[in-house]
A and B are shown apart, each in its own frame.
Chain A
Amino acid sequence: MFISMFGAVESGVIYAIMALGVYLSFRVLDFPDLTVDGSFVTGAAVAAIAIMHDVPTIIATLLAVVAGFVAGSITGILNTKGKINPLLSGILMMIALYSINLRIMGRSNIPLLNEPTIFTQLQEIWEGTNIDQSLNAMLLSLGVDRTPGTWSTLLVMIVVTVLIKFITDYYLKTEIGLALRATGDNEKMIRSFSANTDNLKIVGLGISNALVALSGALIAQYGGFADAGMGIGMIVIGLASVIIGEALFGTKTIMRTTLAVIGGAIVYRIVVTWALRVDFLESSDMKLITSLLVIIALVVPKVIDGQKEARRKRRKRNKLQERLKGEA
Protein backbone atom coordinates (compact mmCIF):
# COMPACT_ATOMS: atom_id res chain seq x y z
CA MET A 1 0.00 0.00 0.00
CA PHE A 2 2.63 2.52 1.03
CA ILE A 3 4.77 1.70 -1.99
CA SER A 4 1.97 2.20 -4.47
CA MET A 5 0.95 5.48 -2.85
CA PHE A 6 4.60 6.54 -2.88
CA GLY A 7 4.66 5.81 -6.61
CA ALA A 8 1.43 7.76 -7.09
CA VAL A 9 2.87 10.84 -5.44
CA GLU A 10 6.10 10.45 -7.37
CA SER A 11 4.40 10.35 -10.77
CA GLY A 12 1.87 12.96 -9.60
CA VAL A 13 4.66 15.47 -9.08
CA ILE A 14 5.93 14.82 -12.62
CA TYR A 15 2.45 15.03 -14.17
CA ALA A 16 1.94 18.27 -12.22
CA ILE A 17 4.23 20.01 -14.73
CA MET A 18 1.82 18.97 -17.48
CA ALA A 19 -1.09 20.22 -15.37
CA LEU A 20 0.63 23.62 -15.00
CA GLY A 21 0.83 23.75 -18.79
CA VAL A 22 -2.88 22.99 -19.07
CA TYR A 23 -3.58 25.67 -16.45
CA LEU A 24 -1.74 28.23 -18.62
CA SER A 25 -3.81 27.48 -21.71
CA PHE A 26 -7.22 26.68 -20.21
CA ARG A 27 -7.29 29.14 -17.36
CA VAL A 28 -4.83 31.94 -18.03
CA LEU A 29 -5.35 32.24 -21.78
CA ASP A 30 -8.91 30.89 -21.68
CA PHE A 31 -7.91 28.74 -24.66
CA PRO A 32 -9.15 25.12 -24.58
CA ASP A 33 -6.00 23.69 -26.15
CA LEU A 34 -6.19 20.03 -27.15
CA THR A 35 -2.64 20.01 -28.53
CA VAL A 36 -1.67 18.49 -25.19
CA ASP A 37 -2.50 14.89 -26.17
CA GLY A 38 0.04 15.20 -28.97
CA SER A 39 2.70 17.40 -27.42
CA PHE A 40 3.00 15.18 -24.34
CA VAL A 41 4.05 12.31 -26.63
CA THR A 42 6.25 14.65 -28.67
CA GLY A 43 8.18 15.40 -25.51
CA ALA A 44 8.51 11.72 -24.69
CA ALA A 45 9.45 10.81 -28.27
CA VAL A 46 12.09 13.50 -28.68
CA ALA A 47 13.71 12.71 -25.34
CA ALA A 48 13.65 8.95 -25.97
CA ILE A 49 15.09 9.11 -29.46
CA ALA A 50 17.76 11.58 -28.34
CA ILE A 51 18.76 9.33 -25.43
CA MET A 52 18.91 6.36 -27.81
CA HIS A 53 21.40 8.39 -29.83
CA ASP A 54 23.53 8.95 -26.72
CA VAL A 55 22.58 12.58 -26.25
CA PRO A 56 23.11 13.51 -22.57
CA THR A 57 19.81 13.07 -20.72
CA ILE A 58 19.51 16.70 -19.66
CA ILE A 59 20.01 17.93 -23.22
CA ALA A 60 17.56 15.30 -24.50
CA THR A 61 15.00 16.63 -22.03
CA LEU A 62 15.63 20.23 -23.08
CA LEU A 63 15.19 19.26 -26.74
CA ALA A 64 11.78 17.89 -25.78
CA VAL A 65 10.90 21.23 -24.21
CA VAL A 66 11.82 23.06 -27.42
CA ALA A 67 9.75 20.63 -29.50
CA GLY A 68 6.75 21.19 -27.23
CA PHE A 69 7.16 24.95 -27.55
CA VAL A 70 7.19 24.72 -31.33
CA ALA A 71 4.08 22.51 -31.37
CA GLY A 72 2.16 24.90 -29.11
CA SER A 73 3.25 27.93 -31.12
CA ILE A 74 1.93 26.33 -34.30
CA THR A 75 -1.46 25.82 -32.65
CA GLY A 76 -1.33 29.52 -31.72
CA ILE A 77 -0.45 30.51 -35.28
CA LEU A 78 -3.30 28.38 -36.67
CA ASN A 79 -5.68 30.18 -34.35
CA THR A 80 -4.43 33.78 -34.64
CA LYS A 81 -3.08 33.99 -38.18
CA GLY A 82 -5.18 31.22 -39.75
CA LYS A 83 -8.30 32.39 -37.91
CA ILE A 84 -9.21 28.80 -37.04
CA ASN A 85 -11.25 28.43 -33.88
CA PRO A 86 -9.30 27.47 -30.74
CA LEU A 87 -10.72 23.97 -30.29
CA LEU A 88 -10.21 23.05 -33.92
CA SER A 89 -6.66 24.49 -34.00
CA GLY A 90 -5.75 22.21 -31.10
CA ILE A 91 -7.43 19.16 -32.58
CA LEU A 92 -5.72 19.68 -35.94
CA MET A 93 -2.35 19.99 -34.24
CA MET A 94 -3.02 16.96 -32.04
CA ILE A 95 -3.84 14.78 -35.04
CA ALA A 96 -0.87 16.07 -37.02
CA LEU A 97 1.40 15.37 -34.05
CA TYR A 98 0.24 11.76 -33.91
CA SER A 99 1.92 11.14 -37.28
CA ILE A 100 4.86 13.41 -36.49
CA ASN A 101 5.51 11.54 -33.25
CA LEU A 102 5.58 8.22 -35.08
CA ARG A 103 8.04 9.76 -37.54
CA ILE A 104 10.24 10.95 -34.69
CA MET A 105 10.20 7.57 -32.99
CA GLY A 106 10.33 5.47 -36.16
CA ARG A 107 8.08 2.91 -34.49
CA SER A 108 5.29 3.01 -31.98
CA ASN A 109 7.29 2.17 -28.86
CA ILE A 110 10.83 2.90 -27.68
CA PRO A 111 11.98 1.08 -24.53
CA LEU A 112 14.54 2.93 -22.42
CA LEU A 113 15.18 0.21 -19.87
CA ASN A 114 18.79 -0.30 -20.89
CA GLU A 115 19.49 3.39 -21.41
CA PRO A 116 20.62 5.95 -18.88
CA THR A 117 17.85 8.35 -17.87
CA ILE A 118 17.82 11.49 -15.78
CA PHE A 119 16.46 9.42 -12.94
CA THR A 120 19.00 6.57 -13.06
CA GLN A 121 21.82 9.09 -13.25
CA LEU A 122 20.34 11.03 -10.38
CA GLN A 123 20.11 7.88 -8.34
CA GLU A 124 23.78 7.12 -8.92
CA ILE A 125 24.80 10.50 -7.56
CA TRP A 126 22.26 10.18 -4.79
CA GLU A 127 23.66 6.89 -3.55
CA GLY A 128 26.77 8.76 -2.35
CA THR A 129 24.58 10.41 0.27
CA ASN A 130 22.77 8.36 2.86
CA ILE A 131 19.48 10.24 2.72
CA ASP A 132 17.66 7.10 1.57
CA GLN A 133 18.91 5.07 4.49
CA SER A 134 17.90 7.58 7.11
CA LEU A 135 14.46 8.23 5.57
CA ASN A 136 13.79 4.51 5.22
CA ALA A 137 14.95 3.89 8.77
CA MET A 138 12.40 6.43 9.87
CA LEU A 139 9.67 4.68 7.86
CA LEU A 140 10.60 1.31 9.34
CA SER A 141 10.34 2.74 12.83
CA LEU A 142 6.86 4.01 11.87
CA GLY A 143 5.87 0.45 11.06
CA VAL A 144 6.02 0.58 7.25
CA ASP A 145 7.23 -2.85 6.13
CA ARG A 146 8.32 -2.17 2.54
CA THR A 147 10.34 0.96 1.88
CA PRO A 148 10.89 2.72 -1.49
CA GLY A 149 14.03 1.92 -3.47
CA THR A 150 15.06 5.54 -3.74
CA TRP A 151 13.84 8.93 -2.61
CA SER A 152 15.89 10.73 -5.20
CA THR A 153 13.15 10.90 -7.86
CA LEU A 154 10.50 12.19 -5.50
CA LEU A 155 12.63 14.77 -3.71
CA VAL A 156 14.34 16.11 -6.82
CA MET A 157 11.08 16.26 -8.75
CA ILE A 158 9.44 18.17 -5.93
CA VAL A 159 12.23 20.72 -6.16
CA VAL A 160 11.98 20.92 -9.96
CA THR A 161 8.18 21.22 -10.02
CA VAL A 162 8.08 23.81 -7.25
CA LEU A 163 10.78 25.76 -9.06
CA ILE A 164 8.68 25.73 -12.25
CA LYS A 165 5.72 26.87 -10.18
CA PHE A 166 7.65 29.85 -8.82
CA ILE A 167 8.96 30.80 -12.26
CA THR A 168 5.38 30.64 -13.59
CA ASP A 169 4.15 32.79 -10.70
CA TYR A 170 6.87 35.34 -11.37
CA TYR A 171 6.27 35.32 -15.13
CA LEU A 172 2.55 35.93 -14.72
CA LYS A 173 3.30 39.06 -12.70
CA THR A 174 5.74 40.57 -15.19
CA GLU A 175 4.66 43.19 -17.70
CA ILE A 176 4.44 40.53 -20.38
CA GLY A 177 2.72 38.10 -18.02
CA LEU A 178 0.07 40.66 -17.08
CA ALA A 179 -0.66 41.23 -20.76
CA LEU A 180 -0.88 37.47 -21.26
CA ARG A 181 -3.41 37.13 -18.46
CA ALA A 182 -5.42 40.06 -19.79
CA THR A 183 -5.49 38.40 -23.21
CA GLY A 184 -7.45 35.60 -21.57
CA ASP A 185 -9.48 37.95 -19.40
CA ASN A 186 -10.44 40.83 -21.70
CA GLU A 187 -8.77 40.72 -25.08
CA LYS A 188 -10.35 43.88 -26.46
CA MET A 189 -9.14 45.84 -23.44
CA ILE A 190 -5.49 44.76 -23.58
CA ARG A 191 -5.38 45.42 -27.32
CA SER A 192 -6.45 48.96 -26.58
CA PHE A 193 -3.34 49.15 -24.38
CA SER A 194 -1.04 48.28 -27.27
CA ALA A 195 -0.50 44.59 -26.57
CA ASN A 196 -0.08 42.29 -29.56
CA THR A 197 -2.56 39.64 -28.46
CA ASP A 198 -1.75 37.35 -31.40
CA ASN A 199 1.87 37.09 -30.34
CA LEU A 200 0.92 36.70 -26.70
CA LYS A 201 -1.33 33.75 -27.53
CA ILE A 202 1.34 32.13 -29.68
CA VAL A 203 3.98 32.49 -26.96
CA GLY A 204 1.54 31.47 -24.22
CA LEU A 205 0.54 28.28 -26.01
CA GLY A 206 4.20 27.63 -26.75
CA ILE A 207 5.11 27.83 -23.06
CA SER A 208 2.10 25.75 -22.11
CA ASN A 209 3.04 22.94 -24.46
CA ALA A 210 6.72 23.24 -23.56
CA LEU A 211 5.72 22.33 -20.00
CA VAL A 212 3.52 19.50 -21.26
CA ALA A 213 6.39 18.12 -23.37
CA LEU A 214 8.78 18.42 -20.42
CA SER A 215 6.39 16.36 -18.38
CA GLY A 216 6.15 13.81 -21.22
CA ALA A 217 9.94 13.58 -21.49
CA LEU A 218 10.26 12.99 -17.75
CA ILE A 219 7.44 10.43 -17.65
CA ALA A 220 9.11 8.49 -20.49
CA GLN A 221 12.35 8.37 -18.51
CA TYR A 222 10.53 7.59 -15.29
CA GLY A 223 8.48 4.76 -16.83
CA GLY A 224 11.28 3.49 -19.04
CA PHE A 225 9.57 3.83 -22.41
CA ALA A 226 7.99 6.21 -24.90
CA ASP A 227 4.82 5.09 -26.64
CA ALA A 228 2.79 6.68 -29.43
CA GLY A 229 -0.40 6.13 -27.42
CA MET A 230 0.80 7.48 -24.07
CA GLY A 231 -0.84 10.88 -24.64
CA ILE A 232 -4.38 9.69 -25.22
CA GLY A 233 -6.69 11.50 -22.81
CA MET A 234 -3.83 13.54 -21.38
CA ILE A 235 -5.82 16.76 -21.76
CA VAL A 236 -8.59 15.35 -19.58
CA ILE A 237 -6.05 14.27 -16.96
CA GLY A 238 -4.60 17.77 -17.03
CA LEU A 239 -8.04 19.31 -16.70
CA ALA A 240 -8.90 16.88 -13.91
CA SER A 241 -5.80 18.01 -12.02
CA VAL A 242 -6.60 21.69 -12.53
CA ILE A 243 -10.26 21.37 -11.56
CA ILE A 244 -9.71 19.05 -8.59
CA GLY A 245 -6.87 21.25 -7.36
CA GLU A 246 -8.88 24.44 -7.67
CA ALA A 247 -11.87 22.87 -5.93
CA LEU A 248 -9.78 21.50 -3.06
CA PHE A 249 -7.19 24.19 -2.51
CA GLY A 250 -8.70 27.43 -3.83
CA THR A 251 -7.83 30.09 -6.38
CA LYS A 252 -7.48 33.25 -4.36
CA THR A 253 -4.19 34.32 -5.89
CA ILE A 254 -2.00 33.11 -8.74
CA MET A 255 0.48 31.58 -6.30
CA ARG A 256 -2.28 29.75 -4.53
CA THR A 257 -3.78 28.50 -7.79
CA THR A 258 -0.54 27.11 -9.21
CA LEU A 259 0.05 25.33 -5.92
CA ALA A 260 -3.53 24.01 -6.11
CA VAL A 261 -2.88 22.67 -9.60
CA ILE A 262 0.17 20.73 -8.38
CA GLY A 263 -1.85 19.42 -5.45
CA GLY A 264 -4.63 18.45 -7.85
CA ALA A 265 -2.24 16.45 -10.03
CA ILE A 266 -0.99 14.51 -6.99
CA VAL A 267 -4.48 13.92 -5.61
CA TYR A 268 -5.57 12.69 -9.04
CA ARG A 269 -2.78 10.09 -9.13
CA ILE A 270 -3.58 8.95 -5.61
CA VAL A 271 -7.27 8.54 -6.41
CA VAL A 272 -6.54 6.62 -9.60
CA THR A 273 -4.00 4.35 -7.88
CA TRP A 274 -6.41 3.70 -5.08
CA ALA A 275 -9.28 3.03 -7.52
CA LEU A 276 -7.22 0.55 -9.50
CA ARG A 277 -6.64 -1.48 -6.34
CA VAL A 278 -10.37 -2.19 -6.25
CA ASP A 279 -10.79 -5.74 -7.56
CA PHE A 280 -13.30 -5.25 -10.35
CA LEU A 281 -11.52 -2.27 -11.91
CA GLU A 282 -8.81 -2.76 -14.52
CA SER A 283 -6.16 -0.39 -15.77
CA SER A 284 -8.12 0.04 -18.99
CA ASP A 285 -10.86 1.63 -16.86
CA MET A 286 -8.55 4.52 -16.01
CA LYS A 287 -9.91 6.85 -18.70
CA LEU A 288 -13.43 6.23 -17.48
CA ILE A 289 -12.37 6.96 -13.91
CA THR A 290 -10.70 10.16 -15.10
CA SER A 291 -13.81 11.36 -16.88
CA LEU A 292 -15.92 10.55 -13.85
CA LEU A 293 -13.51 12.47 -11.63
CA VAL A 294 -13.74 15.56 -13.81
CA ILE A 295 -17.52 15.31 -13.89
CA ILE A 296 -17.66 14.96 -10.10
CA ALA A 297 -15.27 17.86 -9.60
CA LEU A 298 -17.38 20.01 -11.90
CA VAL A 299 -20.79 19.03 -10.60
CA VAL A 300 -20.30 18.59 -6.85
CA PRO A 301 -19.30 22.20 -6.08
CA LYS A 302 -22.37 23.40 -8.02
CA VAL A 303 -24.66 21.03 -6.14
CA ILE A 304 -23.19 22.15 -2.82
CA ASP A 305 -23.65 25.81 -3.78
CA GLY A 306 -27.19 25.08 -4.89
CA GLN A 307 -28.02 23.42 -1.59
CA LYS A 308 -26.53 26.30 0.37
CA GLU A 309 -28.62 28.70 -1.66
CA ALA A 310 -31.78 26.62 -1.15
CA ARG A 311 -31.14 26.41 2.59
CA ARG A 312 -30.62 30.17 2.78
CA LYS A 313 -33.90 30.80 0.99
CA ARG A 314 -35.76 28.28 3.13
CA ARG A 315 -34.47 29.98 6.26
CA LYS A 316 -35.58 33.36 4.97
CA ARG A 317 -38.99 32.08 4.04
CA ASN A 318 -39.45 30.44 7.43
CA LYS A 319 -38.47 33.61 9.20
CA LEU A 320 -40.97 35.59 7.19
CA GLN A 321 -43.72 33.10 7.91
CA GLU A 322 -42.99 33.21 11.63
CA ARG A 323 -43.13 36.96 11.58
CA LEU A 324 -46.44 36.91 9.73
CA LYS A 325 -47.79 34.40 12.24
CA GLY A 326 -46.63 36.63 15.10
CA GLU A 327 -48.39 39.61 13.59
CA ALA A 328 -51.61 37.69 13.00
Chain B
Amino acid sequence: MLNVKDISLTFNEATPDEKKALQGINLTLKKGDFVTVIGSNGAGKSTLMNVISGSLTPDVGDVAIGQKNVTMYPEFKRSQYIGRVFQDPMAGTAPAMTIEENLAMAYARNKKRKLKPGVNKKRRELFREYLSTLNIGLEDRLNAKVGLLSGGERQALSLLMATFTEPNILLLDEHTAALDPSRAELITNLTRDVVEKFHLTTLMVTHNMQQALDLGNRLIMMDKGQVIFDVSGKEKQALTIEKLLHEFQRIRGIQMDNDRAILG
Protein backbone atom coordinates (compact mmCIF):
# COMPACT_ATOMS: atom_id res chain seq x y z
CA MET B 1 0.00 0.00 0.00
CA LEU B 2 2.81 2.39 0.92
CA ASN B 3 6.20 2.13 -0.65
CA VAL B 4 9.02 4.42 0.45
CA LYS B 5 12.17 3.86 -1.60
CA ASP B 6 15.69 5.15 -0.97
CA ILE B 7 14.52 8.43 0.54
CA SER B 8 17.22 10.90 1.55
CA LEU B 9 16.76 14.47 2.66
CA THR B 10 19.34 16.95 3.89
CA PHE B 11 18.38 20.32 5.40
CA ASN B 12 20.58 23.36 4.72
CA GLU B 13 22.91 21.39 2.49
CA ALA B 14 26.48 22.75 2.21
CA THR B 15 26.05 25.20 5.08
CA PRO B 16 27.37 24.96 8.64
CA ASP B 17 23.81 23.99 9.67
CA GLU B 18 23.73 21.01 7.35
CA LYS B 19 21.59 18.23 8.77
CA LYS B 20 21.11 14.86 7.16
CA ALA B 21 17.55 14.22 8.37
CA LEU B 22 16.89 11.10 6.29
CA GLN B 23 19.53 8.79 4.88
CA GLY B 24 18.31 6.13 2.50
CA ILE B 25 15.01 5.12 4.08
CA ASN B 26 13.28 2.07 2.66
CA LEU B 27 9.91 1.06 4.00
CA THR B 28 7.05 -0.98 2.63
CA LEU B 29 3.68 -1.22 4.33
CA LYS B 30 1.16 -3.86 3.33
CA LYS B 31 -2.50 -3.00 3.34
CA GLY B 32 -3.75 -2.98 6.91
CA ASP B 33 -0.30 -2.77 8.46
CA PHE B 34 -0.20 -0.74 11.68
CA VAL B 35 3.39 0.32 12.23
CA THR B 36 4.58 2.16 15.31
CA VAL B 37 7.69 4.31 14.96
CA ILE B 38 10.04 5.14 17.82
CA GLY B 39 13.40 6.84 17.97
CA SER B 40 15.23 9.54 19.85
CA ASN B 41 14.70 13.26 19.35
CA GLY B 42 15.84 14.42 15.93
CA ALA B 43 15.94 10.89 14.51
CA GLY B 44 13.97 12.05 11.47
CA LYS B 45 10.56 10.61 12.34
CA SER B 46 8.59 13.78 11.64
CA THR B 47 10.63 14.45 8.52
CA LEU B 48 9.73 11.00 7.22
CA MET B 49 6.04 11.71 7.88
CA ASN B 50 6.33 15.03 6.06
CA VAL B 51 7.98 13.39 3.07
CA ILE B 52 5.24 10.78 2.88
CA SER B 53 2.51 13.40 3.17
CA GLY B 54 4.17 15.71 0.66
CA SER B 55 4.80 18.70 2.93
CA LEU B 56 8.48 18.06 2.16
CA THR B 57 10.00 16.75 -1.06
CA PRO B 58 12.95 14.38 -0.69
CA ASP B 59 16.32 15.06 -2.33
CA VAL B 60 16.27 11.58 -3.79
CA GLY B 61 13.93 8.63 -3.60
CA ASP B 62 10.30 7.84 -4.35
CA VAL B 63 7.03 7.54 -2.49
CA ALA B 64 4.31 5.32 -3.92
CA ILE B 65 0.78 4.81 -2.65
CA GLY B 66 -0.79 1.66 -4.05
CA GLN B 67 0.58 1.48 -7.59
CA LYS B 68 0.84 5.25 -7.92
CA ASN B 69 4.14 7.09 -7.67
CA VAL B 70 3.17 10.26 -5.83
CA THR B 71 6.63 11.74 -5.24
CA MET B 72 5.87 14.77 -7.39
CA TYR B 73 2.28 15.28 -6.20
CA PRO B 74 1.81 18.50 -4.24
CA GLU B 75 0.67 18.04 -0.66
CA PHE B 76 -2.97 18.97 -1.25
CA LYS B 77 -3.31 16.42 -4.04
CA ARG B 78 -1.69 13.66 -2.05
CA SER B 79 -3.89 14.29 0.95
CA GLN B 80 -6.78 12.69 -0.93
CA TYR B 81 -5.15 9.42 0.05
CA ILE B 82 -3.56 10.35 3.36
CA GLY B 83 -5.16 11.16 6.70
CA ARG B 84 -3.01 12.98 9.25
CA VAL B 85 -3.15 13.88 12.90
CA PHE B 86 -0.50 16.23 14.22
CA GLN B 87 0.99 16.55 17.68
CA ASP B 88 -0.50 20.00 18.24
CA PRO B 89 -4.26 19.70 18.91
CA MET B 90 -4.66 23.14 17.28
CA ALA B 91 -3.21 21.93 14.00
CA GLY B 92 -5.85 19.49 12.81
CA THR B 93 -9.02 21.56 12.99
CA ALA B 94 -10.30 25.03 12.02
CA PRO B 95 -11.03 26.82 15.32
CA ALA B 96 -13.39 29.53 14.03
CA MET B 97 -15.63 26.97 12.36
CA THR B 98 -18.18 24.63 13.90
CA ILE B 99 -17.76 20.92 14.58
CA GLU B 100 -20.09 19.98 11.75
CA GLU B 101 -18.35 22.35 9.34
CA ASN B 102 -15.00 20.81 10.23
CA LEU B 103 -16.40 17.35 9.61
CA ALA B 104 -17.87 18.51 6.30
CA MET B 105 -14.43 19.67 5.17
CA ALA B 106 -12.95 16.31 6.10
CA TYR B 107 -15.85 14.55 4.36
CA ALA B 108 -14.98 16.32 1.09
CA ARG B 109 -11.39 15.06 1.19
CA ASN B 110 -11.68 12.52 -1.59
CA LYS B 111 -14.41 14.24 -3.59
CA LYS B 112 -14.40 17.28 -5.82
CA ARG B 113 -15.59 20.24 -3.76
CA LYS B 114 -18.70 21.77 -5.26
CA LEU B 115 -21.02 24.74 -4.86
CA LYS B 116 -23.53 22.80 -2.82
CA PRO B 117 -24.00 23.09 0.94
CA GLY B 118 -21.25 21.35 2.88
CA VAL B 119 -23.69 20.26 5.58
CA ASN B 120 -27.13 18.89 4.81
CA LYS B 121 -29.62 16.88 6.83
CA LYS B 122 -28.29 13.53 5.74
CA ARG B 123 -24.67 14.42 6.37
CA ARG B 124 -25.51 15.95 9.74
CA GLU B 125 -27.02 12.61 10.80
CA LEU B 126 -23.95 10.80 9.54
CA PHE B 127 -21.64 13.19 11.43
CA ARG B 128 -23.69 12.76 14.58
CA GLU B 129 -23.37 9.01 14.28
CA TYR B 130 -19.60 9.16 13.82
CA LEU B 131 -19.20 11.62 16.68
CA SER B 132 -21.14 9.40 19.05
CA THR B 133 -18.54 6.66 18.57
CA LEU B 134 -16.07 8.96 20.33
CA ASN B 135 -18.20 8.80 23.48
CA ILE B 136 -17.36 12.31 24.63
CA GLY B 137 -20.66 14.00 23.89
CA LEU B 138 -19.55 15.95 20.83
CA GLU B 139 -22.59 14.68 18.94
CA ASP B 140 -24.73 17.12 20.92
CA ARG B 141 -22.51 20.09 20.07
CA LEU B 142 -22.51 20.05 16.27
CA ASN B 143 -22.80 23.83 16.10
CA ALA B 144 -20.15 24.63 18.70
CA LYS B 145 -17.04 26.38 17.41
CA VAL B 146 -14.10 24.00 17.55
CA GLY B 147 -11.95 26.68 19.20
CA LEU B 148 -14.07 26.19 22.34
CA LEU B 149 -13.15 22.51 22.70
CA SER B 150 -10.45 21.22 25.04
CA GLY B 151 -7.21 19.83 23.64
CA GLY B 152 -8.35 16.26 24.12
CA GLU B 153 -11.71 16.90 22.47
CA ARG B 154 -10.02 18.60 19.56
CA GLN B 155 -7.60 15.73 19.14
CA ALA B 156 -10.44 13.20 19.21
CA LEU B 157 -12.22 15.23 16.55
CA SER B 158 -9.00 15.48 14.50
CA LEU B 159 -8.61 11.72 14.68
CA LEU B 160 -12.18 11.20 13.51
CA MET B 161 -11.76 13.72 10.70
CA ALA B 162 -8.54 12.07 9.56
CA THR B 163 -10.04 8.60 9.47
CA PHE B 164 -13.76 8.46 8.71
CA THR B 165 -13.26 8.84 4.97
CA GLU B 166 -11.09 5.71 5.16
CA PRO B 167 -7.86 7.09 3.65
CA ASN B 168 -5.35 4.69 2.11
CA ILE B 169 -2.72 5.80 4.61
CA LEU B 170 -3.02 7.20 8.12
CA LEU B 171 -0.09 9.19 9.54
CA LEU B 172 -0.02 9.94 13.27
CA ASP B 173 2.85 12.05 14.59
CA GLU B 174 3.00 11.94 18.40
CA HIS B 175 -0.70 12.76 18.37
CA THR B 176 -1.11 11.98 22.08
CA ALA B 177 2.07 13.73 23.27
CA ALA B 178 0.47 17.09 24.09
CA LEU B 179 -2.32 15.60 26.21
CA ASP B 180 -2.54 14.75 29.88
CA PRO B 181 -2.26 11.00 30.65
CA SER B 182 -5.99 10.22 30.87
CA ARG B 183 -6.79 12.12 27.67
CA ALA B 184 -3.82 10.49 25.97
CA GLU B 185 -5.19 7.10 26.93
CA LEU B 186 -8.59 7.98 25.52
CA ILE B 187 -7.02 8.99 22.21
CA THR B 188 -4.83 5.88 22.19
CA ASN B 189 -7.88 3.68 22.62
CA LEU B 190 -9.81 5.57 19.96
CA THR B 191 -6.85 5.13 17.63
CA ARG B 192 -6.79 1.39 18.19
CA ASP B 193 -10.55 1.13 17.58
CA VAL B 194 -10.67 3.26 14.48
CA VAL B 195 -7.65 1.66 12.80
CA GLU B 196 -9.21 -1.72 13.42
CA LYS B 197 -12.66 -0.68 12.26
CA PHE B 198 -11.51 0.73 8.92
CA HIS B 199 -8.45 -1.56 8.48
CA LEU B 200 -6.30 1.53 7.97
CA THR B 201 -2.71 1.25 6.85
CA THR B 202 -1.11 3.26 9.62
CA LEU B 203 2.21 4.79 10.55
CA MET B 204 2.25 6.08 14.12
CA VAL B 205 5.14 7.98 15.66
CA THR B 206 5.23 7.86 19.44
CA HIS B 207 7.77 8.59 22.14
CA ASN B 208 5.92 6.32 24.51
CA MET B 209 7.57 2.90 24.20
CA GLN B 210 4.76 1.08 25.95
CA GLN B 211 2.29 2.56 23.47
CA ALA B 212 4.57 1.49 20.61
CA LEU B 213 4.58 -2.05 21.97
CA ASP B 214 0.86 -2.22 22.73
CA LEU B 215 -0.39 -0.96 19.38
CA GLY B 216 0.10 -2.27 15.90
CA ASN B 217 1.54 -5.36 14.27
CA ARG B 218 4.96 -3.94 13.49
CA LEU B 219 7.50 -1.64 15.11
CA ILE B 220 10.38 0.28 13.63
CA MET B 221 13.09 2.21 15.38
CA MET B 222 14.78 5.18 13.73
CA ASP B 223 18.07 6.84 14.54
CA LYS B 224 20.10 9.48 12.70
CA GLY B 225 17.83 9.37 9.66
CA GLN B 226 17.90 5.61 9.28
CA VAL B 227 15.65 2.69 10.16
CA ILE B 228 17.81 0.66 12.51
CA PHE B 229 15.35 -1.91 13.78
CA ASP B 230 12.23 -3.45 12.28
CA VAL B 231 10.14 -6.18 13.89
CA SER B 232 6.68 -7.52 13.23
CA GLY B 233 4.24 -10.28 14.13
CA LYS B 234 5.11 -12.67 16.92
CA GLU B 235 8.55 -11.20 17.35
CA LYS B 236 7.01 -7.82 18.10
CA GLN B 237 4.52 -9.32 20.53
CA ALA B 238 7.37 -10.80 22.49
CA LEU B 239 9.14 -7.46 22.73
CA THR B 240 9.55 -5.57 26.02
CA ILE B 241 10.90 -2.13 26.82
CA GLU B 242 14.08 -3.67 28.27
CA LYS B 243 14.65 -5.68 25.11
CA LEU B 244 14.07 -2.56 22.99
CA LEU B 245 16.61 -0.52 24.93
CA HIS B 246 19.04 -3.39 24.81
CA GLU B 247 18.53 -3.71 21.06
CA PHE B 248 19.26 -0.04 20.57
CA GLN B 249 22.47 -0.33 22.57
CA ARG B 250 23.54 -3.38 20.63
CA ILE B 251 23.02 -1.69 17.25
CA ARG B 252 24.33 1.74 18.05
CA GLY B 253 26.81 0.80 20.76
CA ILE B 254 25.50 3.61 22.95
CA GLN B 255 22.76 4.15 25.49
CA MET B 256 19.51 5.51 24.03
CA ASP B 257 18.99 9.07 25.09
CA ASN B 258 16.22 8.48 27.51
CA ASP B 259 14.97 12.02 27.95
CA ARG B 260 11.80 11.51 26.00
CA ALA B 261 11.65 7.77 25.67
CA ILE B 262 9.20 7.32 28.48
CA LEU B 263 8.96 3.90 30.01
CA GLY B 264 5.30 2.97 30.15
Contacts and interface: CB of A to CB of B under 8 A. Distances in A.
Interface residues of B, number: 33
A189 interface: yes
Given A175-B118, A178-B101, A192 B84 contact: yes
Contacts of B108: 175, 178-179, 193-194
Nearest to B119: A173
Contacts of B117: 170, 173-175
Contacts of B149: none
**Chain B interface mostly helix, strand, loop or mixed?**
loop
B251 to A, nearest CB: 34
A150 B36 CA distance: 74
A110 interface: no
A175 B104 contact: yes
B226 interface: no
B76 A189 contact: no
B115 A175 contact: yes
Contacts of A186: 90-91, 93-95
B97 A178 contact: yes
Contacts of A178: 97, 101, 104-105, 108, 118
A112 B118 CA distance: 44
A171 interface: yes
A194 B76 contact: yes
A293 B37 CA distance: 56
B110 interface: yes
Residue among B79, B94, B118 having the largest count of chain A Cβ atoms under 10 Å:
B94
What's the dominant secondary structure at chain A's contact region? Answer: helix
Interface string A169-210: 011011111110110011011111111110000000000000
- Among A179, A186, A195, chain B packs the most CB atoms within 10 A around the CB of A186
Given A181-B94, A185-B95, A190 B105 contact: yes
Contacts of B75: 191-192
Interface string B94-118: 1111000100111011110111111
A194 B95 contact: no
Given A189-B92, A191-B76, A193-B105, A176 B115 contact: yes
A192 B53 contact: yes
A219 B116 CA distance: 32
Contacts of A173: 101, 117-119
A189 B91 contact: yes
A190 B94 CA distance: 8
A272 B179 CA distance: 52
B31 interface: no
Contacts of B118: 173-175, 177-178
A128 to B, nearest CB: 37
A170 B120 CA distance: 13
B116 A174 contact: yes
B237 interface: no
Nearest to A198: B76
Nearest to B93: A189
B80 interface: yes
B152 to A, nearest CB: 18
21 contacts: A170-B117, A173-B101, A174-B114, A174-B118, A175-B111, A175-B114, A178-B105, A182-B94, A185-B95, A185-B96, A190-B94, A190-B105, A191-B75, A192-B53, A192-B75, A192-B79, A192-B84, A192-B92, A194-B80, A195-B105, A196-B77
Interface of B: 53, 75-80, 82, 84, 90-97, 101, 104-106, 108-111, 113-119, 161
Given A170-B117, A175-B117, A189-B94, 14 more contacts: A173-B101, A174-B118, A175-B114, A178-B101, A178-B105, A178-B108, A181-B96, A185-B97, A188-B91, A189-B92, A189-B93, A191-B76, A195-B76, A197-B76
Top 5 A-B pairs ranked by shortest CB distance? A175-B113, A185-B94, A194-B79, A178-B118, A182-B94
